[in-house]
Amino acid sequence: MQGGEDVVVWIPPPRPTHLVPQEIPLDLLHEDADILIVNKPTGLTVHPGAGQPDGTLANALAWHLRGLPELGGSDRPGIVHRLDKATSGVMVIARTEAAQRTLSQAFAERAVAKTYLACVHGRPSDERGDIDAAIGRAPQHRTKMAIRREGGRDAFTAWRIERTLPRHTLVRCLPRTGRTHQIRVHLAHLGHPIVGDKTYGRPNAPGEEHAPRLLLHAWRIGFRHPGTGESVSFEAPLPQDFQAALGALAALEPPRRRR
């Protein structure tokens, strides 16, 4: 532009939505003018979708807070990332359009540090490692994800052992990408699926009877605050049902060694 021009900006109205505000309890870990930090429970879907028209985190946000930005669609107010329904843990919600743009860009540029805790079957042979394996839709099961050397999207997860149990291992996972079911697929690919995983796990393996849920928890998230620019980090403590499952698994007898 050279100066002197007239600029006309047309802002389209929000896309129509059937999102109904619902009084669903929220566990807020932090709140300020720019962001909310929510501890999402297992079993709560993040936003409406096929087969889940309501009863989601988005419905709860619409009830508890008015005026959240709708840049991702009016059925996803303030939401800049997601967790699987079965996964619990920390999530960041944008309270303003500026915060939503900044956070969305940070996630796209992989500038958000995410740390998960997962309890897996068996014990990895190494203390730590990296899983660099592309993920895409499973050819025969379109609702599942799988390692796809051709046609998959790049996916990277670093991991290390946090605690060893008689038959299981608590693993700390640091995904650099955010593919659907990434940690679940990667750990199963490693040969150590997550306890309680009905899709990628071992449903009849020892210890499954002590897992009332998927033992995967988004424990910590770190990023630059969209309002202040400072580096911030937030944690969601392990839920009681996760801790109880760990206690039960810790009491199991170790497997017998083959002679």
Phi–psi pair at 210, nearest 5 degrees: -100, 5
User: Hey, what are 42's tokens?
Assistant: 């297992």
pLDDT, position 16: 57
Q: Is 54 a catalytic residue?
A: no
Q: Give me the count of residues in the chain.
A: 259
Q: Which residue of the set 84, 126, 130, 197 is catalytic?
A: 84
Q: What is the pLDDT of residue 20?
A: 87
Question: Does 1 map to a domain?
Answer: no
Quick check: helix, strand or coil at residue 40? strand
Which residues lie across from 161 on neighbouring strands? 171
Supply the range of the domain harboring residue 183: 28-250
Other CB atoms within a 10 A radius of the CB of residue 2 amount to 4
Q: What is the pLDDT of residue 32?
A: 96
Q: Token pair of 51, please?
A: 């087969």
According to DSSP, residue 151 is labeled: T
Where are the alpha helices (H) located in the chain, listed in sequence order? 57-64, 97-108, 182-190, 240-250
Could you give the dihedral angle defined by the CA atoms of residues 70, 76, 80 and 82, in that order, rounded to the nearest 10 degrees? 180
What's the domain count of the chain? Answer: 1
Q: Is residue 8 part of a domain?
A: no
Instruction: Specify the amino acid at residue 126.
Output: D
Alpha-carbon gap, residue 79 to 95, rounded angstroms? 9
**Paired tokens of 65:** 């807070």
CATH number at residue 163: 3.30.2350.10
- Cα distance between residue 99 and residue 72, in whole Å: 13
For 189, list phi and psi in degrees, rounded to 5: -65, -35
| Per-residue tens of pLDDT for the chain, all 259 residues | 788 899 999 887 655 566 889 999 999 999 999 999 999 999 999 998 877 889 999 999 989 887 788 776 778 889 999 999 999 999 999 999 999 999 999 999 999 999 999 999 999 999 999 999 999 999 888 789 999 988 899 999 999 999 999 999 999 999 999 999 999 999 999 999 999 999 999 999 999 999 999 999 999 999 999 999 999 999 999 999 999 999 999 999 998 876 6
Q: Is 81 part of any domain? A: yes
